[in-house]
Structure 1
Amino acid sequence: MNTLPQLTDALLSLEERVAVLTLNRHDVRNALTGTRLVDDIVTTAEWVNRCPDVSVLVITGAGSAFSAGGNIRDMAERGGDFAGTPAECAERYRRGIQRMPLAMEAVDVPVIAAVNGPAIGAGFDLANMADIRLAAESARFGETFLNLGIIPGDGGAWFMQRLIGYQQAFELTLTGRLVEAEEAKALGLVLDVVPDDDLMTSTLTLARRMAAQPPKATRLTKRLMKMAQRMALKDFLELCACFQGMSHNEPEHLEAVQNMLASMGKG
């Protein structure tokens, strides 16, 4: 089950239950259009859900950028993902980049974005699709679609307001301004800002701590956290009861209890 899928424009590794997906088109600043990166992200997300050996997924970028979002040259030339009539363009979005937010939202395990540099447009939105974001000091963020006369067509307007509230998300989206890493932390867009050279060390430390938790309960807890956002309390508690009944009957629960008792005995 831990055979890695074949990717085209990204690199994937798995160690200590932590999968690391590295966007590897630094020649175009990891643009999500005009490359196969969306395909690679969707493939990885689906693989993670099938692979019981993965407990955490980390996404980062190779080179100086996390992701520059859309390919502006293709926009200028009305080529690639941006060609055709309004109906053709809309269908290309549905069959193209919009698969990414659906796949990311469905990932069963915690997802951490290690934002190593600029995350612009759809690249910013990709980071916001993760559960947690850690930023290098050189990272910058921008919901820059309006600067180009287009809208956030990949779901960015859905994700960001759920992170920082409608008013803050509205201001960032309607002004299209760039946000430095420290302001992103103050806004609640990122959990922490670390020196560039420490980004992956800090990210993997957090990822491994999560990956050390019982894997089945971790996936159920991630699912609960997501479903809590759209369920009434009474229905949510019923789901919790069902998931808890499952958890109490898993061998990993008994093992964790025994480990806790052993550690208490040592104290």
Structure 2
Amino acid sequence: MTKPVLLDIADGIATITLNLPESRNPISAQETVDALVDALDSMNRDLDVRVAILTGAGSAFCSGGDLKSIGQPGGLGGGDPVRTPAQYAHNIQRVPMMFQTLEVPVIAAVNGPAIGAGCDLACMADIRIAARSAIFAESFVKVGLIPGDGGAWLLPRIVGYSKACEMAFTGDRMDAQEALACGLVSKVVEDDELMPAALALAKRIAVNSGDAVRMSKRLLMRGRELRLAEVLELSGAMQALAHTTVEHKDIVAGLVARQQSKLTPSS
């Protein structure tokens, strides 16, 4: 049986791949959600992991929900309306909640269409790089639905309220260049350069202190919700911990030693 999600870890970099290319990597099935949440949790608990790349197998990043099963018995929205909120909470809504707990930075390497919940999944990552063939759409209204996976919270924080409204109300598709222009992605590369570009960025992150990177992400995540005074207080507490880490002390010692060697005249 094909694993719906693959996890590979090497040299402090985790690669998480949605692995249902024949159906364009939908994420609404319970087994896929479970596998994705488990992969994210596993790499987050591995303190040797410093950064992660999220991508899709085949020609699509993620097609969102599987329309064949949505609304059917056993599928999302396929039962008693009173139970639908619980269905969502135990299914796809576990994904954004898991992302909120991650201390490891995540780079979304968007290798093709990211549609509906797939667009929102890309938004759950910290950094997004798009292949030139990537397509984005907050397309729930096109099938008479609303973003049930946190898109209404995620999208305005990335592209701004007005652009988020345009995307959500029209459901229109945007190409990679428009996504770059509105800040949905930070970089667009040729299709065959996507994973090398994502890996190069991951390596630039992974060379830094793992403790500092994790704390920096935690601080940035909390900073979206806190007042400045609260962020400053939290920053002070985290900095107190950072000063005690072995990596910090070793880095500072190395920098001081290099500075002293430059100042010492040669005999």
TM-score (norm 2): 0.93
* Larger CA Rg, structure 1 vs 2: 2
Does structure 1 residue 46 correspond to structure 2 residue 41? yes
Check the 8 A contact 2:21/2:60 in 1, yes or no. yes
User: Which consecutive residues of structure 2, in runs of 5 or more, have no partner in the other structure?
Assistant: 263-267
Deviations 1:114-134 (A, max 9, x none): 000000000000000000000
User: Counterpart in 2 of 1:120?
Assistant: 115
In structure 1, distance between residues paired with 2:124 and 2:87:
21
In structure 1, distance between residues paired with 2:130 and 2:7:
20
User: Counterpart in 1 of 2:222?
Assistant: 227
The number of equivalent residue pairs is 261
Does structure 1 residue 166 correspond to structure 2 residue 168? no
Deviations 1:172-211 (A, max 9, x none): 1000000000000000000000000000000000001101
Q: In the alignment, residue 168 of structure 2 is paired with which amino acid?
A: T
In structure 1, distance between residues paired with 2:97 and 2:203:
26
Check the 8 A contact 1:74/1:82 in 2, yes or no. no
Alignment equivalent of 1:196, drawn from 180, 191, 196: 191
In structure 2, distance between residues paired with 1:250 and 1:209:
20
User: Counterpart in 1 of 2:140?
Assistant: 145
Alignment equivalent of 2:22, drawn from 22, 27, 31: 27
Alignment equivalent of 1:129, drawn from 100, 106, 124: 124
Q: In the alignment, residue 202 of structure 1 is paired with which amino acid?
A: A
User: Counterpart in 2 of 1:107?
Assistant: 102
Aligned-residue identity in percent: 43
Deviations 1:46-95 (A, max 9, x none): 22331111010110000000000011122365652231121122211011
Give how far 1:35 is off. 5.8
Q: In the alignment, residue 144 of structure 1 is paired with which amino acid?
A: S
> Would the alpha carbon gap of residues 101 and 76 (structure 1) be closer, same or farther in structure 2, given more than 3 Å must change?
closer
In structure 1, distance between residues paired with 2:69 and 2:144:
14
User: Counterpart in 2 of 1:4?
Assistant: none
SS of the equivalent of 1:36 reads helix
Q: In the alignment, residue 106 of structure 1 is paired with which amino acid?
A: T
Q: Which sits farther off after the overlay, 8-17 or 152-161?
A: 8-17
SS of the equivalent of 1:58 reads strand
TM-score (norm 1): 0.93
Q: In the alignment, residue 253 of structure 1 is paired with which amino acid?
A: H
Deviations 1:211-240 (A, max 9, x none): 110011111111011111111111211111
User: Which consecutive residues of structure 1, in runs of 5 or more, have no partner in the other structure?
Assistant: 1-6
Check the 8 A contact 2:30/2:91 in 1, yes or no. no
Q: In the alignment, residue 117 of structure 2 is paired with which amino acid?
A: A
SS of the equivalent of 1:65 reads coil
Q: Which sits farther off after the overlay, 210-219 or 45-54?
A: 45-54
In structure 1, distance between residues paired with 2:81 and 2:258:
63
